[in-house]
Structure 1
């Protein structure tokens, strides 16, 4: 049986598992990822027990009995003969195994403990479990020693060989002994996995009323408010030391025809650092507040925390979607920002970035020092305004961070080409900050309340921050606002109960099974439907198929919805052109004009105004999909699910997070994981379409491959009956329906049948397709332009049998 790492042979499943643990240091836990490694088998496993069962069932030869029966032992014949030479061989083997396995066993135990802590288990419970396991292992070791001595040496306990065996058992260190306290675990993790330790910083001092336990009176005492800072430079050094960073780094090749990433935008191409230094470090920061206490409990709001994260735009968007690539920078109480502002929190960040800008850091991959800076700061509108020192009320007269348009102009000016839309500049912002400094009694000057310390950096300024957030602007703002108005209009045709029945019973397809919207409530004064972002997105793109039978194609209310969907598809596209940016600008103008024509009594939201800046932002930094808040807010879940010590909650959570990140970054399965469902080994000559697969990957038709029910790659699930977009011909996408999913030579291949794209049905905002009986087509998922699969759907109208594919972005 072959090891999938070093290809060496083992004589039994148990020996192979032992080899993986001792030689390669694989540890049990959520990060374990084992490949079978046998000829023609592509199965992978997340546990040693599942791996053993597979080997026993599929690959075990008749020379050995099943390891699962517990009868096979590499020392069975040796112990039976009890020859002195054999006993010496056992002793030498035990000594070698002891020396080799001690460290790896401890690593395995530490990995399991780290998984417990990451799952939110409290330190007291972790300590209890570790201490209990320490006692159990100690008893097992003692029992094993006595059993070996009793059966091998019987009455000859005073011999030299017996004493050697006893010494071997004594040298078997209990793996839980060095992990039985929080201090020991922290010390071990820091030494083994290079944990970047958070630093406790003082943000300010204040007077607080505290009860004197001796006198029973209440006294005024000075309290220091603190926050946790994770040094950016140390985190960067840790990232670039990892062998996985080499794979994740992308080559920055400029492309004038398409906008795929930030390096294709005009901002990057004209930047004094990023455009001149090829390997410069590009830091994208994010700020947001979140609640860690029970949102319905009495402590709601008291323990609301603020977090600053960062990602590296040097890595491709595929890798930056991993939560492991979102790093913690600062963790603080949200109420401290109101007391002291952001200057003290941002001070250590700015200090590190200045060092990065002037001195740089040494990156082993390049063999030299590399400079870097902040390339963009993203977040929701309120968070960015707070961070940048702008007004935090969107009812204010000047509430746009991109321009100086007044609030009343939002209802009439729908393009940056308007003379009333004056864009903010560095010089203008500096003048506003100076005026505020001269006259601090003013509430703000053109929306500027104070200077931002980030503007003291050499290569970053808040007026050149072009990140926008589709999640909050459209899915939690414009989309729900306009859907609510549209549903009110639908009440002329159907009742609210019938409307909700359609929403709840509509077939959204396999891909949206977890994002189905709930029933909507049209009562109340709020502008939303009470949905989260993914539910709103799911509902928005499926409304045409759900309610298209209620209106005609020339209905202006329906036209407004279709304009919004076109806008959404463009801003969510992973690849754009300059022409699409111009087209987007005209779509936004048409949409806003039609809205005011249909609903003159209703006001456009400030988020409608922010939308007019999207075309320029895309031209500056590429697809804005790569800077939205969706994945960053997913990072909050780690802190929300932890059991916490509220005495110093920021310190508790920061330490837990850094230990977890050290554990995750040492596991290869974090970055190279292919999850597959149940499957079986089949020969290509026994599979329909096997010849197409054989030709596509250049393998023999007699080779054994793995056919699976489903596979998950880069966050997307592929299974039969789903649809992929294989190419675009004459501005019309060509769709292919998945028939089978195969693993061949560690590649995920999709065996598909082409569909005929009849037309783009504008009324339903979907592509009408029909099935074809043509030959098979094979796709490698790594080469798909649009990796997210689609579902085949039908409209709600009972007599309509047409098949539709609803696009989630602009396909071109």
Structure 2
């Protein structure tokens, strides 16, 4: 108060009226706030002016060609890598685009009645042409641009002692790019939360819920750990110009994340290349040491586990101590001596001291991966269900196995020993199940032992080691979880892409580099968009239809849908892709499981409706009449009941095959279904 008074005593009465000696607090506060508001307003104006100056500076200094560069790179990736075209297509595209731009500019200026020789237009066209050819002039310039604008992970070159080169994809860089995508992170987070709900439950939902997963110290102690599944295999690429040396044998290493939901497991997008080199380089011990030090992960089973690599003599099984001569006389797993980590370590030590005793145990050497603390060849090499059950072209044999009853429909009851097929189908349905139950395993083991004994008795000359591996399938399910998730079909499907790249590029000088580079460019193309699983909510053409034009049963189903109120106009599509599952009009899915026997009820998609950015499915319900054991399928009949379902109400994520034979409908479920509580 003294300050105010002294201040105003020095002012003339004309300049400002004298303030009262005792100021009213309310007046003071109001005036004070007013000053603050004025200051804030002035600061806001200054901030807006500064922001405008920054935007103006950015606009003036913005490279107008930057967006064109990025768009052109994206287009090159989509065309070149999406369709696996040779690299020289880039120059053709650059030339075609510049010609198109010149023609477009010419006609645009003509329409605007402007000078065709406009200097600004000519200079801009020249800059665009220079930019496009700068990107397309060489593979190195294209890759450099991809590194600047997109998430390209360059393969790392490994120079081997023999002089050849291997190429390794940096795992951490690759995972970082994946986890930057929100949908990828969310999918893994949700799946791990779901997995945790099945601990100590009857359903073996995942490897983490199985015996080895529950005992693994890293998985138990580090909740944020990721479970990687690695796969190694050889593939041959043919050079048609090399005569006898036409086949290039390569060894590939892939990995996938086992913590992703199973609905994504069929997509090649979630199979990633990790290492690639010539197969002959693996034969050198120094090369192997360098490769494993770089990789530091799990590779092939018998070879990298240190077990014997022959299946026709000696102790061929990596699950038990069974000699090839005794294989045909063993019908029960209880007749075998199961390998354990402790027994393996003792026998390995003996083999290292006395190398001539290798054949006694079926162990050749220590695993090349033994330096990894969490790796052991007895527990870290899960079985491959397809290779353990089938030989040769597994996918073709699998399709034949499932469809054989319909191919022999008219004579199936006359085939002797058909009961063996029925028994094997019952075994397969449990082994191939998405979510097996612990309570099934004792029954599964009994069925397997019965089948092996019958097959050996009826077809003794056809009994191979693969039948013996089947003897351990129930135990392996308990140890590793659903064996379906351990299969190699998706990895082998990735081979086709690698072969396609090699043949299209027609460059066999350094084939591992050519293939690994193009695979990474393709992955760069797949990660362009905001989401990894970008093929989501993609549908066919949307058609509109008046609700009154559909039949009364469909109208009633729309009326009974409690989720939405449908207007007079309804949007329909013929197909839609949601969460990597394709739904088409006419497809059959399992919608319900009835009773303790879990009898499936099937539905047929009649209409796919798009409403409020969501998808609804009008389905026709089918009655399950009976299970035809000789055909190993269900006989069903259409009903007059229609209902509306969401995608989450389907129990399977793949359409089932339905056959219309002799005025009857038959549908097979490729594996045993169970309700997930």
Structure 1 unaligned spans of 5+: 1-91, 206-223, 354-373, 378-382, 478-527
Alignment partner, residue 29 of structure 2: none
Q: Is the 8 A contact 2:102 2:125 kept in 1?
A: no
Q: Would the alpha carbon gap of residues 743 and 713 (structure 1) be closer, same or farther in structure 2, given more than 3 Å must change?
A: same
2:543 to 680, 683, 698: 680
Compute the TM-score of the two structures, normalised by the length of structure 1.
Answer: 0.68
- Quick check: 1:659 aligned with 2:521? yes
- Quick check: 1:586 aligned with 2:550? no
- Quick check: 1:112 aligned with 2:58? no
Aligned-pair CA distance for 1:272: 0.4
- Quick check: 1:199 aligned with 2:65? no
Aligned-pair CA distance for 1:609: 1.0
Alignment partner, residue 363 of structure 2: 448
1:778 to 621, 644, 647: 644
Distance 2:69 2:123 in 1: 20
- Quick check: 1:788 aligned with 2:654? yes
Q: Would the alpha carbon gap of residues 302 and 595 (structure 1) be closer, same or farther in structure 2, given more than 3 Å must change?
A: same
Alignment partner, residue 493 of structure 1: none
Alignment partner, residue 85 of structure 2: 121
2:573 to 690, 693, 708: 708
Alignment partner, residue 230 of structure 1: 169
2:304 to 362, 387, 401: 387
Q: Is the 8 A contact 1:133 1:176 kept in 2?
A: no
Number of residues of Structure 1 aligned to a counterpart in Structure 2: 602
Q: Would the alpha carbon gap of residues 200 and 439 (structure 1) be closer, same or farther in structure 2, given more than 3 Å must change?
A: farther
Aligned-pair CA distance for 1:470: 2.7
Please state whether the residue corresponding to 2:654 is helix, strand or coil: strand
Please state whether the residue corresponding to 1:417 is helix, strand or coil: helix
Q: Is the 8 A contact 2:105 2:121 kept in 1?
A: no
Alignment partner, residue 347 of structure 1: 293
After superposition, residues 594-673 of structure 1 pair within 5 angstroms as 594-600=454-460, 602-642=461-501, 643-668=505-530, 671-673=533-535
- Quick check: 1:179 aligned with 2:41? no
After superposition, residues 331-730 of structure 1 pair within 5 angstroms as 331-340=276-285, 342-350=288-296, 383-418=300-335, 421-440=336-355, 444-465=359-380, 467-474=382-389, 476-477=390-391, 532-550=393-411, 552=413, 557-600=417-460, 602-642=461-501, 643-668=505-530, 671-673=533-535, 674-684=537-547, 686-688=549-551, 689-693=554-558, 695-696=560-561, 698-702=563-567, 704-714=569-579, 716-730=581-595
Alignment partner, residue 242 of structure 1: 181
Q: Would the alpha carbon gap of residues 680 and 146 (structure 1) be closer, same or farther in structure 2, given more than 3 Å must change?
A: closer
Q: Would the alpha carbon gap of residues 293 and 701 (structure 1) be closer, same or farther in structure 2, given more than 3 Å must change?
A: same
Q: Would the alpha carbon gap of residues 580 and 744 (structure 1) be closer, same or farther in structure 2, given more than 3 Å must change?
A: farther
Please state whether the residue corresponding to 1:741 is helix, strand or coil: strand
Aligned-pair CA distance for 1:287: 0.4
Q: Aligned Cα RMSD in Å?
A: 3.2
Aligned-pair CA distance for 1:134: 6.3
Distance 2:130 2:182 in 1: 31
- Quick check: 1:311 aligned with 2:256? yes
Distance 2:478 2:488 in 1: 20
Compute the TM-score of the two structures, normalised by the length of structure 2.
Answer: 0.81
Q: Would the alpha carbon gap of residues 145 and 744 (structure 1) be closer, same or farther in structure 2, given more than 3 Å must change?
A: closer
Distance 1:708 1:416 in 2: 53
Structure 1 residues 39-92: Cα deviation after superposition (integer angstroms, max 9, x where no partner): xxxxxxxxxxxxxxxxxxxxxxxxxxxxxxxxxxxxxxxxxxxxxxxxxxxxx9
- Quick check: 1:811 aligned with 2:673? yes
Q: Would the alpha carbon gap of residues 717 and 321 (structure 1) be closer, same or farther in structure 2, given more than 3 Å must change?
A: closer
Q: Would the alpha carbon gap of residues 736 and 650 (structure 1) be closer, same or farther in structure 2, given more than 3 Å must change?
A: same
Distance 1:197 1:416 in 2: 48
Please state whether the residue corresponding to 1:390 is helix, strand or coil: coil
CA radius of gyration, larger in: 2
Structure 1 residues 271-313: Cα deviation after superposition (integer angstroms, max 9, x where no partner): 1011222210211100011112259973567411110011111
Aligned-pair CA distance for 1:664: 0.8
Please state whether the residue corresponding to 1:471 is helix, strand or coil: helix
Please state whether the residue corresponding to 1:424 is helix, strand or coil: coil
Distance 2:523 2:272 in 1: 8
Distance 2:239 2:328 in 1: 40
Out of 405-414 and 541-550, give the one that drifted further: 541-550
